Chains A and B, each alone.
Chain A
Amino acid sequence: MSTMDSDKVNNIAHLARINIDATKLPEYANSLSNILHLVQQMDSLDTEGVTPMAHPLDVMQPLRSDAITEKDFSAALRKFAPRLEADLFLVPQVIE
Chain B
Amino acid sequence: MEWEAVIGLEVHAQLATQTKIFSGAATAYGAAPNTQACAVDLGLPGVLPVLNAECVRMAIKFGLSTQSTIAPRSIFARKNYFYPDLPKGYQISQYEHPIVYNGYLDVLLEDDTLKRVGITRAHLEEDAGKSLHESFYNMTGLDFNRAGTALLEIVSEPDLRSAKEAVAYLKALHALVTCLNICDGNMQEGSFRCDANVSVRPKGESRLGTRTETKNVNSFRFVERAINYEIERQIQILESGGSIRQETRLFDSVKNETRPMRSKEEANDYRYFPDPDLLPVMIQQEQIDQVRETMPELPWEKQQRFQQSYGLSRYDANVLTSSQALSDYYEITLQHAGGDAKLVANWVMGDVSAFLNKHGLSIEECPVTALQLAKLLQRILDNTISGKIAKTLFEAMWAGEGDVDTLIEKKGLKQVTDNQAILAIIQQVIQESPQQLADYQAGKERLFGYFVGQVMQKTQGKANPQQVNDLLKKALSK
* A50 within 8 Å of B (CB atoms): no
With A60-B281, A68-B26, A95-B265 in contact, do A77 and B142 touch (Cβ < 8 Å)?
Answer: no
With A64-B53, A65-B53 in contact, do A86 and B141 touch (Cβ < 8 Å)?
Answer: yes
* B140 within 8 Å of A (CB atoms): yes
Complex: how many Å from CA A67 to CA B23?
Answer: 9
For residues 55 through 96 of chain A, which have their beta carbon under 8 Å from a beta carbon of chain B? 55, 57, 59-70, 72-74, 77-78, 83, 85-95
List chain B residues, Cβ under 8 A from A61: 51, 278-282
With A15-B271, A89-B34 in contact, do A64 and B51 touch (Cβ < 8 Å)?
Answer: yes
Top 4 nearest A-B pairs (CB, nearest first) are A69-B24, A88-B141, A70-B38, A63-B53
Which A residue's beta carbon lies closest to that of B31?
A72
B127 to chain A minimum Cβ distance, whole angstroms, is: 16
User: 17 interchain pairs (CB within 8 A)?
Assistant: A15-B267, A51-B73, A54-B75, A60-B280, A61-B51, A63-B50, A63-B53, A64-B24, A64-B52, A66-B54, A68-B24, A70-B25, A83-B139, A86-B33, A91-B142, A94-B83, A94-B264
Which B residue's beta carbon lies closest to that of A70?
B38
* B136 within 8 Å of A (CB atoms): yes
B136 and A90: CB pair below 8 A?
Answer: yes
* A24 within 8 Å of B (CB atoms): no
A60 and B144: CB pair below 8 A?
Answer: no
B279 and A59: CB pair below 8 A?
Answer: yes
List chain A residues, Cβ under 8 A from B53: 63-66
List chain A residues, Cβ under 8 A from B132: 88
* B383 within 8 Å of A (CB atoms): no
Interface size on B, residues (CB 8 A): 56
B141 and A67: CB pair below 8 A?
Answer: no
With A88-B33, A95-B264 in contact, do A66 and B141 touch (Cβ < 8 Å)?
Answer: no
A67 and B38: CB pair below 8 A?
Answer: no
Which A residue's beta carbon lies closest to that of B87?
A89
Partner of A85, one of B36, B40, B80, B136: B136
* B143 within 8 Å of A (CB atoms): yes
Complex: how many Å from CA A64 to CA B53?
Answer: 6
List chain B residues, Cβ under 8 A from A70: 19, 23-26, 38-40
List chain B residues, Cβ under 8 A from A95: 133, 140, 262, 264-265
A58 to chain B minimum Cβ distance, whole angstroms, is: 9
Partner of A77, one of B23, B37, B141, B276: B37
* B274 within 8 Å of A (CB atoms): yes
List chain A residues, Cβ under 8 A from B274: 54-55
Complex: how many Å from CA A87 to CA B31?
Answer: 11
Q: A17, A55, A88 — which one has the most chain B CB atoms within 10 A of its CB? A: A88
Complex: how many Å from CA A89 to CA B212?
Answer: 33
B280 and A90: CB pair below 8 A?
Answer: no
A67 and B83: CB pair below 8 A?
Answer: no
List chain B residues, Cβ under 8 A from A89: 34, 141-142, 144
B280 and A63: CB pair below 8 A?
Answer: no
List chain A residues, Cβ under 8 A from B262: 95
List chain B residues, Cβ under 8 A from A83: 139
A73 and B133: CB pair below 8 A?
Answer: no
List chain A residues, Cβ under 8 A from B136: 85, 90, 93
B19 and A60: CB pair below 8 A?
Answer: no
List chain B residues, Cβ under 8 A from A68: 18-19, 24-26
B85 to chain A minimum Cβ distance, whole angstroms, is: 9
For residues 19 through 33 of chain B, which have their beta carbon under 8 Å from a beta carbon of chain A? 19, 23-26, 32-33
> What 0/1 pattern do residues 269 to 298 of B give for CB contact below 8 A with A?
101001010111110000000000000000
A93 to chain B minimum Cβ distance, whole angstroms, is: 5
Which B residue's beta carbon lies closest to that of A64?
B50
For residues 138 through 169 of chain B, which have their beta carbon under 8 Å from a beta carbon of chain A? 138-144
A77 and B34: CB pair below 8 A?
Answer: yes
List chain B residues, Cβ under 8 A from A57: 279
Complex: how many Å from CA A92 to CA B408?
Answer: 63
* B131 within 8 Å of A (CB atoms): yes
With A68-B18, A70-B38 in contact, do A90 and B141 touch (Cβ < 8 Å)?
Answer: yes
List chain B residues, Cβ under 8 A from A91: 84, 139-140, 142
* Known contacts A68-B24, A85-B141; 7 further A-B pairs (Cβ under 8 A): A54-B97, A60-B281, A66-B18, A70-B23, A89-B142, A90-B139, A90-B140
Complex: how many Å from CA A63 to CA B93?
Answer: 16
A75 to chain B minimum Cβ distance, whole angstroms, is: 9
* B341 within 8 Å of A (CB atoms): no
List chain A residues, Cβ under 8 A from B320: none
B18 and A88: CB pair below 8 A?
Answer: no
List chain A residues, Cβ under 8 A from B406: none
